[in-house]
């Protein structure tokens, strides 16, 4: 195999790693992203789908809330094909909820998150499934973000700008070689052999695995891995996201996702992401019961499925609430290694920008981040797939690609868009492998 040398290698293809890869590629940094499975298949493919307005964190975590409202607007502009501008309600049902209103309104005002108060009767007209006993309702600019559509659009834009997106490669070690380079040892799951990729800078963006991966390569990174469960119901019950008006807790958000509704979430500490349990009957009952306080029809809506995943949160001992903020750790040993900790799906672009700043500074690259204003590719996944017709990756996936393309112009065109994104992700990875001789 030929020696592959990059300016930067990003380990982990969740939302943080994807945005970091795109950020670096747009600065002209030769970058490879390596993902042990497929992109956005872990927490970034098992979350709630809420593009936060920041209102949920306004009282407890104002810095994260400020980042959320800024990123909420940016993402809707640069990737409109992945975002649904639903709006969101915060509803007070109990007396305690009502008491939280003052604090919430003050915090929203301080941070600059726009909101409007509606008479409960007006809110019920707009959202007929809302609990008619709601005492206070305010509207905030929450939105819904479609996970795979965004992940593949970022990967495609990065690939179109010179990045390599490599799925099925697990990083098993990172070692410094002399002064200039770090060697990343990878296990290639597609052929069952190991290989070495070399780069001047390496970003550990393994999300919930960040602490475990750091230990594996002999350094210390502390994270607070917090698992959560979400339940998917067979009907979309509301136009908007519905939030309980209370401090962030369990069972307080209902998200309309396509034709379904997703209720979440629970929270418990879990050190090893590989040990994520399957959702229990009790969790499903608890979330259904909490959700039906806001939207009573939830109790009668069939459950399709439930799933769990892990938040890779930052560990701060002195905070009452776990922060949704993030940091980019610049390691002294080995030099050139950076670790991303914390954040939200909503703030992924900002995380990528900050990681990109750190890596660019280290590499001596002066070009600033471009992701704030670049329009992402991938608005039409069918057309993007067609572009690869005739390539060798296309030939190896011939039937899969043709099946997906055949959905266009047919009864299932809209349903097939997700499949088109999924296959497009695979084609980008195969194309990247081919270019590198992997």
Please report where in the chains the tokens 């349990």 appear, as a residue.
277
**Site membership for ligand FAD, residue 203 (CB under 6 A):** no
Q: Which stretch binds ligand FAD (CB under 6 A): 204-212, 287-295, 381-389, 426-434?
A: 204-212
Closest CA to 159 of 437, 399, 430: 430
**Site membership for ligand FAD, residue 279 (CB under 6 A):** no
What does the block give as tokens for 171? 């990083």
**Site membership for ligand FAD, residue 251 (CB under 6 A):** no
Closest CA to 339 of 215, 195, 190: 215
Q: Considering only residues 29, 50, 293, 428, which one is a binding residue for ligand FAD as defined by CB under 6 A?
A: 50
Other beta carbons within 10 angstroms of residue 22's beta carbon come to 32
Site string for ligand FAD, 357-376 (x = CB under 6 A): --------------------
**Site membership for ligand FAD, residue 161 (CB under 6 A):** no
**Site membership for ligand FAD, residue 44 (CB under 6 A):** yes
d(CA 62, CA 271) in angstroms, rounded, equals: 27
Site string for ligand FAD, 334-353 (x = CB under 6 A): ---------xxxx-------
Within 8 A by CB and 6+ apart from 103, the residues are: 59
Residue placing its CB nearer to ligand FAD in the complex, 338 or 382: 338
Q: Considering only residues 89, 90, 100, 209, which one is a binding residue for ligand FAD as defined by CB under 6 A?
A: 209
Radius of gyration of the chain from its Cα atoms, rounded to whole angstroms: 22
Q: Are strands 303-314 and 223-233 parallel, antiparallel or unpaired?
A: antiparallel
**Site membership for ligand FAD, residue 120 (CB under 6 A):** no
Closest CA to 240 of 359, 90, 370, 414: 90
Q: Considering only residues 20, 21, 41, 301, which one is a binding residue for ligand FAD as defined by CB under 6 A?
A: 41
Site string for ligand FAD, 286-315 (x = CB under 6 A): -----------------------xxxx---
Q: Considering only residues 54, 88, 120, 208, which one is a binding residue for ligand FAD as defined by CB under 6 A?
A: 208
- Chain residues 52-111 in contact with ligand FAD, contact rule CB under 6 A: 52
Q: How far is the CB of 150 from ligand FAD (least distance, A)?
A: 11
3-class secondary-structure state, position 298: helix
DSSP string, 146-207: -HHHHHHHHHHHHHHTT-EEEETEEEEEEEEETTTEEEEEEEETTTTEEEEEEEEEEEE--G
Within 8 A by CB and 6+ apart from 411, the residues are: none
Q: Which residue lies nearest ligand FAD, judged by its C-beta?
A: 14
Q: First vs last Cα of the chain: how many Å apart?
A: 7
Residue placing its CB nearer to ligand FAD in the complex, 266 or 405: 266
**Site membership for ligand FAD, residue 254 (CB under 6 A):** no
Q: Considering only residues 9, 11, 165, 197, which one is a binding residue for ligand FAD as defined by CB under 6 A?
A: 11
Q: Which stretch binds ligand FAD (CB under 6 A): 36-44, 276-284, 288-296, 371-379?
A: 36-44
Residue placing its CB nearer to ligand FAD in the complex, 44 or 134: 44
Q: How far is the CB of 186 from ligand FAD (least distance, A)?
A: 7
**Secondary structure in 3-state letters for 312-335:** EEECCCCCCCCCCCEEEEECCCCC
Q: Which stretch binds ligand FAD (CB under 6 A): 12-20, 155-163, 281-289, 400-408?
A: 12-20
Other beta carbons within 10 angstroms of residue 224's beta carbon come to 18
Q: Residue 265, preceding bond cis, omega within 30 degrees?
A: yes
Q: Which stretch binds ligand FAD (CB under 6 A): 8-16, 95-103, 120-128, 294-302?
A: 8-16
DSSP string, 27-42: TT--EEEEESSSTT-S
Q: Considering only residues 7, 23, 35, 167, which one is a binding residue for ligand FAD as defined by CB under 6 A?
A: 35
- Chain residues 217-236 in contact with ligand FAD, contact rule CB under 6 A: 228, 230
Residues lying near ligand FAD in the complex (CB under 6 A) are found at: 11-17, 34-37, 41-44, 47-50, 52, 170-171, 205-209, 213, 228, 230, 264-265, 309-312, 343-346
């Amino acid at each position: 195999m030929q020696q592959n040398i990059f300016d930067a290698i990003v380990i982990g293809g969740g939302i943080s790693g994807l945005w970091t890869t795109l950020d670096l590629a747009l600065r002209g940094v030769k970058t490879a992203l390596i993902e042990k499975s497929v992109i956005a298949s872990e927490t970034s493919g098992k979350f709630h789908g809420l593009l936060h307005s920041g209102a949920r964190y306004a009282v407890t975590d104002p810095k994260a809330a400020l980042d959320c409202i800024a990123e909420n607007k940016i993402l809707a502009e640069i990737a409109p094909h992945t975002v649904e501008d639903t709006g969101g309600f915060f509803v007070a049902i109990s007396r305690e909820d009502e008491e939280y209103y003052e604090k919430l309104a003050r915090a929203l005002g301080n941070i600059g998150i726009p909101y409007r108060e509606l008479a409960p009767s007006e809110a019920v007209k707009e959202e007929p499934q809302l609990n008619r006993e709601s005492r206070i309702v305010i509207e905030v600019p929450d939105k819904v973000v479609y996970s795979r559509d965004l992940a593949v659009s970022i990967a495609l834009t990065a690939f179109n700008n010179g990045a390599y997106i490599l799925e099925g490669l697990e990083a098993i070690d990172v070692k410094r070689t002399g002064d200039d380079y770090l060697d990343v040892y990878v296990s290639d799951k597609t052929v069952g052999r190991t290989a070495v990729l070399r780069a001047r800078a390496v970003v550990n963006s393994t999300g919930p695995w960040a602490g475990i991966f750091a230990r594996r390569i002999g350094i210390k990174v502390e994270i607070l891995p917090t698992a959560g469960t979400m339940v998917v119901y067979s009907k979309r019950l509301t136009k908007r996201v519905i939030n309980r008006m209370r401090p962030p807790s369990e069972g307080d958000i209902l998200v309309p996702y396509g034709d379904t509704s997703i209720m979440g979430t629970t929270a418990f500490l879990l050190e090893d992401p590989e040990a994520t349990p399957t959702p229990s009957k009790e969790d499903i009952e608890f979330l259904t019961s909490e959700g039906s306080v806001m939207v009573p029809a939830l109790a009668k809506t069939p459950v399709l499925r439930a799933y769990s995943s892990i938040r890779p949160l930052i560990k701060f001992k002195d905070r009452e609430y776990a922060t949704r903020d993030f940091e980019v750790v610049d390691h002294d040993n080995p030099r050139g290694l950076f670790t991303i900790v914390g954040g939200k799906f909503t703030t992924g672009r900002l995380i990528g920008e900050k990681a990109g700043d750190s890596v660019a500074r280290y590499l001596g690259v002066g070009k600033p981040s471009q992701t704030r204003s670049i329009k992402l590719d991938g608005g039409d996944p069918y057309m993007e797939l067609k572009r690869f017709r005739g390539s060798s990756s296309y030939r190896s996936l011939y039937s899969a690609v043709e099946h997906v393309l055949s959905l266009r112009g047919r009864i299932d065109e809209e349903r097939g868009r997700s499949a088109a994104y999924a296959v497009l992700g695979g084609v980008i990875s195969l194309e990247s492998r081919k270019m590198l001789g992997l």
